[in-house]
Amino acid sequence: MTITWESIKEGDTLPELKKKPGVTQLVKYAAGSGDFNPLHHDYNFFQSQAIGSIIVHGRFKYASLGELVSNWLGHNGFIKKISCQYRGMDFPDKELICKGTVDRKWEEGGEKLAELTVFA
Amino acid sequence: MAEQFELTQEMKDKIGWKSQPWTYEVTTTSVRAFARGVGYTDPIYFDVDAAKKAGYRNLPAPPSYLGTTVFIPGQTDDTFSFPPGYSPEIDSGMTGLLDGGTEVEYFDTICAGDTLTAVNRLTDLSVKESKSLGKMLVVSTEATYKNQDDKVVAIQRSQIIFY
């Protein structure tokens, strides 16, 4: 399915992206991103012991929201701006559901724009 | 948990600090490794032919790829893979570290084969208090990425929390 700016409507929802990142996925993300903070793979690290578990990289969740939008766009558009705040910690092997809606669609300076809310 | 923490004048004086430029190449291997780490199944991030068919000059960097690094032993930060002198040094005395959030503004597509040069800047320091973590220091930075044509392709604004 190819989306176009003309075909999207305010209020549209994006197809959900479901993941269940386990330790192995987090290790792959550590290698791919260069973020080797032990809090994301080492249960013996002092911060992991204090929290009681390793936690999912905030940036893994952020990148997953990027994936949600990328899958929806299907390379028929360009992400101009993407921002993400971390509201809480997530633990390995728990389902992470990424969702999004189209909030606004408008034209400005010859550009066809849309603004989305995305969250996991 | 930090009960007391105040910004010192020495810390405040660092606002506006700029890093040395950090130049690194975006490669097909690093795009694939990042895409695999996130869990992408879209072939455009893995297969150069698929990327070219979609109109890219090479594998495109997925959203939030910025910050992915090239490691040089003895120079690069061993944990976060940042190059030397890239992150502002704030001696807060707090060891807990959390990522607060990130915003990236893109001005052009970034693809494998590009060479990026980033300059990081300390834009703000603030103290917040959380019920569970006590006093927290929020470090805000802004990194500007230029490509091989000296064009600004992205600006990344980040918040790191020490507690």
Segment B94-106 mean pLDDT = 89
The answer, for A47 touching chain B at a CB cutoff of 8 Å, is yes
Position A27 in a domain: no
Structural domains in chain B, CATH included, are 9-162 (3.10.129.10)
- Which residues of B lie closer than 8 Å to A, measured between beta carbons? 30, 33-40, 42, 44, 54-56, 60, 62-64, 67-69, 71, 78-81, 96-106, 109
Alpha-carbon span B130 to B113, nearest angstrom: 43
The band of B93, judged by pLDDT with boundaries at 50, 70 and 90, is confident
Report the chain A residue with the minimal C-alpha distance to residue B35.
A32
- The b/e string for B79-88 (b: 16+ C-beta within 10 A; e otherwise) is ebbbbeebbb
B96: three-class secondary structure by DSSP: coil
Give the DSSP letter of residue B114: -
The boundaries of the domain holding residue A113 are: 17-21+57-119
The band of B2, judged by pLDDT with boundaries at 50, 70 and 90, is low
Span B66-90, pLDDT tens digits: 877 778 898 888 888 888 888 888 8
* Matching residue, tokens 């558009």: A77
B33: three-class secondary structure by DSSP: helix
Contact A85 B104 (CB under 8 A): no
The answer, for A60 touching chain B at a CB cutoff of 8 Å, is yes
Considering the entire predicted model, what is its pTM? 0.91
Alpha-carbon span B134 to B34, nearest angstrom: 34
Segment B43-49 mean pLDDT = 98
Domains held by chain A: number: 1
Low-confidence ranges of chain A (pLDDT < 70): 1
Picking from A62, A80, A86, the nearest residue to B64 by CB comes out as: A62
Alpha-carbon span A6 to A23, nearest angstrom: 41
The answer, for A79 touching chain B at a CB cutoff of 8 Å, is yes
The band of B16, judged by pLDDT with boundaries at 50, 70 and 90, is very high
Contact B67 A86 (CB under 8 A): no
Contact call for residues B119 and B21 (beta carbons, < 8 A): yes
Distance from CA of A110 to the nearest CA of B (A): 15
Span A68-88, pLDDT tens digits: 999 999 999 999 999 999 988
Segment B112-132 mean pLDDT = 94
Span B146-160, pLDDT tens digits: 999 999 999 999 999
The band of B123, judged by pLDDT with boundaries at 50, 70 and 90, is very high
Contact B81 A34 (CB under 8 A): yes
The band of B97, judged by pLDDT with boundaries at 50, 70 and 90, is confident
Position A9 in a domain: no
Q: Which residue would you say has higher pLDDT here, B5 or A29?
A: A29
Position A3 in a domain: no
pLDDT averaged over every residue in chain B: 92
Predicted local distance difference test score (pLDDT) of residue A80: 97
Distance from CA of A9 to the nearest CA of B (A): 23
Span B25-39, pLDDT tens digits: 999 999 999 999 999
- Taking the alpha carbons of B65, B105, B7, B133 in that order, is the dihedral positive or negative? negative
Position A102 in a domain: yes
Distances, alpha carbon A8 to alpha carbons A17, A81, A101, A110, B115, in Å: 19, 18, 11, 18, 35
Which of A15, A12, A18 is closest to A115 using CA atoms?
A12
Cβ contacts of A87 within 8 Å, gap of 6 or more = none
Alpha-carbon span B42 to A99, nearest angstrom: 18
Report the chain B residue with the minimal C-alpha distance to residue A78.
B109
B34 neighbourhood in chain A, CB within 8 Å: 32-33, 63
Alpha-carbon span A25 to A22, nearest angstrom: 5
Predicted local distance difference test score (pLDDT) of residue B75: 86
Radius of gyration of chain B from Cα atoms?
A: 18
Contact call for residues B127 and B136 (beta carbons, < 8 A): yes
